[in-house]
Structures are given as structure tokens and as C-alpha cells.
Chain A
Amino acid sequence: MLTDDRPGPGAGTESGSTTTATEPPDGRLIRRRRLSRWDLKFSPYLYISPFFLLFALVGLFPLLYTGYLSVHDWDKIYRQRGDFTGLENFEFVLTDPIFRKALVNTFSIFLMSSVPQIVVAVSIAALLDNRLRASTFWRMSVLLPFVVAPAAAALIFGSLFADQSGLINATLREIGLEPIRWHVDRLWSHFAISSMVNWRWTGYNTLIFLAAMQAVPRDLYESAALDGAGRVRQFRSITLPMIRPTMIFVIVTSTIGGLQIFTEPRLFDDSMSREGGADHQYMTAALYIYDRGIVDGFYGRASAAAWILFLIIVGIALLNFALTRYLTRRNA
């Protein structure tokens, strides 16, 4: 362990100070010691500064700037700031039926993607947690969809779920069912979009759960088995409580990602407007921010919407955190 309060090379280590104590203190040595002390003291700050400087520029400043933009009137043609308008933009966005619709869509798609995804991921992880032959092969296979970009995935699924020529509707017809209007019906469009998200991320989350499961000491299972606990009982009483921190991590990260969903709904819309369906039936909040802010040039309104979404994400993440903690603790 290094401490920064002692002079000399090898500062803070007993051996360092005893060996240098007997040397005659000439000017060069003192200067070198001082340099070394500064080196020791300031280097850590130097090493972390690129992160903080760049983050301040592209993370923190834009976030605050969004706040500034949101309380001003903007001339959308000259991109010039108008008067301070207080919470007018927020009021506009919160009463905008399209934004409300987008928020509901966002939640609906988010729930339809994260809930089944986590259930399936935990289950597949439990299967992978066995002593499998060719375990690397299985792990890589599970991860395969992750290398397909969301944009590509959206186009592939767009064709699978095509209302006229899609494979899924063809199959439904084949087994005597009515084809579904995936791009028209609100709930079904959410289903199609969630399935793209699930497809890409389930394997990834599976590996995270698998890692947590492998860290569970095996003798816990052995003694549980000796006590007569079956597989399911072991899973519920040992595995689930032991992977609690990972569960929280996955739920929080999928909340942050899920509420920002953008690529899939934008590309699922095969019309020219790309605003999440003719009736905005699958427009998400992030898509709303893009369309109003970048396409239409309403900086203030888009910024207000961004702040609202940000606060919602933080709120839900905290809620998730507390809820997961509570639930898994009770289970244990």
C-alpha cells in the first residue's frame, strides 16, 4: 500500500526509509526526493484526469446544457435562444398527447423485453451452470446474436414480422390462424420490437448470470443435496439469493438501456416518416426526443423531454434497486 505523506523514494515503506536515512543529503538527492514526492502525490490525479475532462465535456456538460436549453424559447430556424420561459417547455411536453403515448410505448416495450429476458437468461444460465461438454461452444453460441447490430436486427425482424410477406404471418396462415398486423396494431408492434431486444440481449445477460452462479461455492449445493433438497429447491434457496447483486446489476442496466430504446422502433417503421408508426403507435421517448430535437429543431421541447426521461430512468433504477434488494432478501 502506498501513502503520500512520507518523503523519499519508496515512501511509506519501512525498508525504503531505513536504507535512505544513512545517505548524505546533498542537493541533488533532495531535489530528486521532492520530485518523487510530487510524482507520487499528483500522478494519480493526472491518470484519472483524461476520463474526468472528457466526461465533463461529452457527458456532464451536455446534461446540464440540456437543462439550460429546456427552460428557454428557441428560434428553430436561426437556432437562436429566445426568452427564458421557465417550465413552459416541460408543460408543453407533459401535456403533449404524442409524448404521453411515447412514454406509455416506452414502458410497454421495456417491460415486454426486460421481464421475459431476465427470466429466460436466468434459466439458460442455470442450464449452462452444469458440467457441460464443450462448454465454450455453448457459451459462444448463446452470445451469437450479440454481434448483430440493433439496426441490422431491426431490419431482419422487420422482414420476419412483415405484414404481407413475413415468415411469421406465413406460418400463422399455414396453421390456420389469422395473420397479425404487426406494423399496425399497437400491442403487437410492441411485441415485435421487444422480441428484437430480447433476441440480442438474452445471451449476454445469460453469461452475466452464469458468471455469478459459478461463483457460488459448490459445497453449499452438496450439503443442501445431503439435506434432501432437490434441484428446484437448491435453485430457489441457494442460487437465487447468492446471485442477488448480479440480479440488481442486470435489472438496473437493462432499465437504463430499455428506457432509451431508439434504433429498433425507428427502423421497424418502414414508412418514410420513421416516427414510430403512422399513429405513433410504437414511437418511444428517445425517438420523440430525436424527432422533435434534431429533425424538427425544437431544442427546448426535446431537451425538456430528455430531462423528464432522465429523471424517470433514475427513479426507476433506484426503485428497481430497492425492490430487488427487498425481494431477494426475503427469499433468502
Chain B
Amino acid sequence: MSLPRMSARSRLVDRPGWVVYGLLAAFVVGSALPLYWSFVIGSHTKAEAMEMPPPLVPGGHFLDNARRVFDTIDFWQAMVNSIIVSTACAASVVLFATLAGYSFAKLRFRGSNALMGFVILTMAVPTQLAIVPLFIIITDYGLYDTLLAVALPTLVTAFGVFFMRQYLLDAIPDELIEAARVDGASMIRTFWTVAVPAARPAMAILFLFTFMTVWTDYMWPLVALKDNQTLQVALDELAISGQGQTTDYALVLCGTGLATIPLLVLFVLSGRQLVAGIMQGAVKG
């Protein structure tokens, strides 16, 4: 990223030695270990998983355990629910954040600074603390145990608006918007033809990010749902399914593996964009 600024000579000199690679590798291996462990236990029988010392290499019972997971909880329905809610929230956040972010970045209007300040302030308001009134609202309006109730608090995010604004500040030259206006394009047309194409990379990142946030959320679905479940709440049910016995970790960790696979696939496909997005959000902030 900052390569052009460096002289060719200092680049050659700056190549890091094996110590740097060694430390990084140690950190990466260390952070992969818990995932490895969950796969090891998830692929053994219940009895094998309880042995002392515990097994350290994967066994051959992952599919058996997976079958037990499907028998214990409605895994596929939970997966479908998670996909629906995450996609809906991500689409909604992207649409509204792009509209608002474009306004704040490129349009001049009275009070825009104060309103943007307000948006930033709201990033500090923890929606999680408002679970009691949110619970009352969804119960009063008959939304309890529906997917709409789960999606409701994440249909817009202050972070999304902030992120799109930061991106669009530099992504679109003011002249481009002026040119579209001089040509007689309406504001919304200018938005579609100038802002949206320029914002597309950031929109993809924001989509990915929101999708992950909603997918991994546990507290709010736990409050808003009962019989309908998302994956994370279903995992919770899986964990207490043993009732009174010691936890069946072979079953539980097979379940967490199954619930993590979709995000792992997403990560392999778009990890590059995710990394770029996190770094982008920070640099310009």
C-alpha cells in the first residue's frame, strides 16, 4: 500500500528476518488451536471425547455426531433463519447507509455537521442495554418469536453510515456530481449513476460485515425468539440438551463446527475484502 513512497534500496534492506515470521507463525498457530481442538473432539464418539488424556488427532465420527446434532435440534431451519435474517439486515443496512453516507459526504445541507455528530454519538449507545423495552415493543406488536423482530434492531447502523461517509468523501470527485447536475440529472438519478457505482466496493464490505455481525449475534435472538431459532441460539439448546449429565462435548463441538462452516466458506471467498474493509474503516476514521 505504501510501497511507492519507499525507495527501492530501503525496501531491500527492510526485508524482515525469520524471527518476524516465526513470531507471526506462533501467533497464528496459537489462534488456530481452539478451532483444531473443536474439530478433534467433534469427530470422536462421546466416550472417546471424555477420555483422559483427551484425544489430540481427529477421529472418524464427525458424520455420526452431525446426525446426532440434526436429531437434537432443528439445525437446517435454524440455518435458514440465520441466512434470512443476516441477508435482510445486510441489504437494509447497505441501502440506507449508502444513501445517508452519500448525503453526509457529498451534499451540503443545513445541520449536516450536527446531524453527523449525532450519528457518531449514537455509535456509543449500546442497543444491547435496551433489551427490556425492545422486548416489550416486539411483544406488544405481536412480533415476538418472528424473524422480523430479530432483524429490527439491525436494519440501520450508525457504523454503516459513518463507514460509507468516510469512503465516499474521497471516492467521488465533487466535479462529477456537479457535471451530472449541470446535465439536468435529478438528485436521485445522480445518486444512482454517480454514487452507487463509486460506492460498490464499500457496499460489498459493509454487506459482508453486517452479515457476519447478525449471523454471530446471540443475545438479541435469545430475547426475541422462542421456537424459531437462529443458529447461535440453537447451539445454546444443543449445549444444554444433556440435562443434568456432563456436557456431551462431541455433540456440542460438532454442532459449533457445522454452524461455523458457512462463515468459514465466506471467509475463504472474501477474506481479502474483509481485511481491506477493516483496514479501510480505520485508516480514514
Interface status of B79 (Cβ within 8 A of chain A): no
A299 to chain B, nearest CB (A): 6
Task: Tell me if A13 and B182 are in contact (CB < 8 A).
Answer: yes
For residue B259, CB closer than 8 A to chain A, the reply is yes
How many residue pairs bridge A and B at CB < 8 Å?
Answer: 331
Q: Please give the number of chain B residues whose Cβ is less than 8 angstroms from any Cβ of chain A in the complex.
A: 115
Residues of A within 8 A of B27 (CB): 124, 142
The interface residues of chain B lying within 8 Å CB-to-CB of A237 are none
A124–B31 Cα gap in the complex (Å)?
13
- What is the minimal beta-carbon distance from A89 to any residue of chain B, in angstroms? 12
Once the chains bind, are B132 and A294 in contact (CB under 8 Å)?
A: yes
A55-B156, A314-B124 given; A10·B161 CB < 8 A: no
B282 touches A306 (CB 8 A): no
User: Which of chain A's residues have a CB closer than 8 A to the CB of B186?
Assistant: 36, 39
B130 near A62 with CB under 8 A, answer yes
Q: How far is the CB of B21 from chain A (nearest CB, A)?
A: 8
Q: Is B122 an interface residue (CB 8 A)?
A: yes
Contact yes or no, B256 A290, CB < 8 A: no
Chain A 1-15 near chain B by CB (<8 Å), digits 1 or 0? 111100001110101
What is the bound-complex CA distance between A302 and B127, given in angstroms? Answer: 14
Residue A40 is within 8 A (CB to CB) of chain B in the complex: yes
The answer to whether A131 touches B14 (Cβ under 8 A) is yes
Give bound CA distance, A173 to B106, whole Å: 63
Q: Can you add 9 more A-B contacts, CB < 8 Å, to A13-B182, A289-B129?
A: A36-B184, A47-B100, A47-B191, A48-B115, A51-B99, A149-B263, A165-B249, A167-B37, A170-B52
Q: What are 30 of the A-B contact pairs (CB < 8 Å)?
A: A11-B181, A36-B186, A44-B112, A47-B103, A50-B96, A51-B96, A58-B155, A62-B137, A138-B28, A140-B272, A145-B31, A147-B260, A147-B263, A148-B35, A151-B232, A162-B249, A165-B246, A199-B31, A204-B278, A207-B282, A208-B279, A210-B279, A214-B279, A252-B124, A263-B219, A272-B243, A272-B244, A294-B223, A299-B136, A306-B132
Residues of B within 8 A of A (CB): 1-2, 5-6, 10-11, 14-16, 20-21, 23-24, 27-28, 31-32, 34-35, 37-38, 41, 49-54, 96-97, 99-100, 102-104, 106-110, 112, 115, 119, 122, 124-137, 139, 152-153, 155-156, 158, 161, 174, 177-178, 181-182, 184, 186-188, 191, 212, 215-216, 218-219, 222-223, 231-233, 235-236, 239-240, 243-244, 246-247, 249, 252-253, 255-256, 259-260, 263-264, 266-267, 271-272, 274-275, 278-283, 285
Q: A residues near B, CB below 8 A?
A: 1-4, 9-11, 13, 15-16, 36, 39-41, 43-45, 47-48, 50-52, 54-55, 58-63, 65-66, 69, 79, 124, 127-128, 130-132, 136, 138-153, 155-160, 162, 164-167, 170, 174, 199, 202-204, 207-208, 210-212, 214-215, 217-219, 222, 245-246, 249, 252, 256, 260, 262-263, 267, 270, 272, 274, 286, 289-290, 293-294, 299, 302-303, 306-307, 309-310, 313-314, 317
